[in-house]
Structure 1
Amino acid sequence: MGSNIGNRLEHLVQAVRLLNEHPAINVKKVSSVYETEPVGLTEQAKFLNIAVVIETSLKAIELLSACQFIENKLGRMRKIRWGPRTVDLDILLYNEETIRLENLIVPHIRMAERAFVLIPLIEINSELKNPVTKKLYSEEPAMEDEGVVLWKKVEGVEEFLKQD
């Protein structure tokens, strides 16, 4: 998840809360919060990024719909590609499946190239492997990017949800 408009932390907290309130989703882990430079369109504010682990009975495409509903509820506007956003929820992995649909590709197509995705993800589970290449995500060259800064250490879901 990422946010770079308004109260960035509050947007992330609300997104995690809304995920957790969904009857078919249980948030199991939340990474620490990292601040990163924008990618693509660089003339915008820095992002706060986190990764979460969820347990769900939803199919991947149903989970995508739930994520997009949350984005919309929190004011996400899709006006500019890679532009500013209140919140962005991406499905990075779904079990160990490889999914290729028109509106959903899992594993996320650019995640291995993006330290702002990998660093929070690896914090949650350092043993994660790309289901296609079988390579550890912790061994990807993007992990050496120094543009990802620890912004706030998080010790658990409950602590994260108490943020103001």
Structure 2
Amino acid sequence: MVNSIAYIGLGSNLAEPVKQIHQAFQSLATLPQTQLRKQSGLYQSKPLANMLQPDYINAVAVLETQLPPYILLEHLQAIENQQGRVRGERWGARTLDLDILLYDALQSTDPRLCLPHIGLTQRAFVLYPLYECEPALILPDGTPLEILLQHCPMDGLYRIEN
């Protein structure tokens, strides 16, 4: 089988978020037919839409995988569930959020798995850790990641851990 590259966004703001992200990295490293190739440092960010909730801890993981996108998504959701994820309001507080940001150069508007991930190009908490992992990355539409960063200020995002 052919190996694919998937970029995974990680986020947590409940139940010891730093610990949640470290545990998620460990779980990603044990996925079948998958290798954790890189992981960013941890970044602290404010919640989206100025919601009243704790700050988030965010990171990005780079996986080399033979899992098809929807099977990978199922595995990510299982990890979220194992770490106490409860699905409630959109952008609500959570123990763990794992999103497929990019999967090779696939583009999809499927509501279950939109690729590239919706909001990827405007979210500092995704772009900066993604850049840390893959500074020369070109998005499926041909846009260099570096260009997106030039138009996306850190806005309270800061790196807290390698």
CA deviation after TM superposition for structure 1 residue 41, in Å: 5.2
- Equivalences for residues 5-154 of structure 1 within 5 A: 5-40=14-49, 42-132=51-141, 134-140=142-148, 142-153=151-162
Greater alpha carbon shift after TM alignment, 139-148 vs 86-95: 139-148
Offset of residue 4 of structure 1: 0.3
Deviates more, 1:50-59 or 1:39-48: 39-48
TM-score (norm 1): 0.88
Which structure shows the higher strand fraction? 2
**Is the 8 Å Cα contact of residues 99 and 105 (structure 1) preserved in structure 2?**
yes
Q: CA deviation at 1:40?
A: 2.6
Alignment-derived partner of residue 4 in structure 1: 13
Amino acid at match of 2:97: D
Distance of 2:138 and 2:15 partners within structure 1: 34
Query: How has the CA–CA distance of structure 1 residues 106 and 63 changed in structure 2, closer, same or farther, with 3 Å as cutoff?
Result: same
* Distance in 2 (alpha carbons) for counterparts of 1:41 and 1:65: 30
Flag structure 1 segments of 5+ consecutive residues without an equivalent: 154-164
Cα deviation digits, residues 71-97 of structure 1 (max 9, x gap): 011001111110000010000000112
CA distance in 1, matches of 2:22, 2:99: 15
Q: Which moved more, 1:94-103 or 1:81-90?
A: 94-103
CA deviations on 1:91-133 (whole Å, 9 max, x unpaired) are 000011212323001111111010000000001111112212x
For residue 25 of structure 1, report the CA deviation from its aligned partner.
1.7
Amino acid in structure 2 at the alignment position of 1:37? K
Name the CA distance, whole Å, in 1 between partners of 2:88 and 2:151: 28
Per the alignment, residue 4 of structure 2 pairs with: none
SS in 1 for 2:98: coil
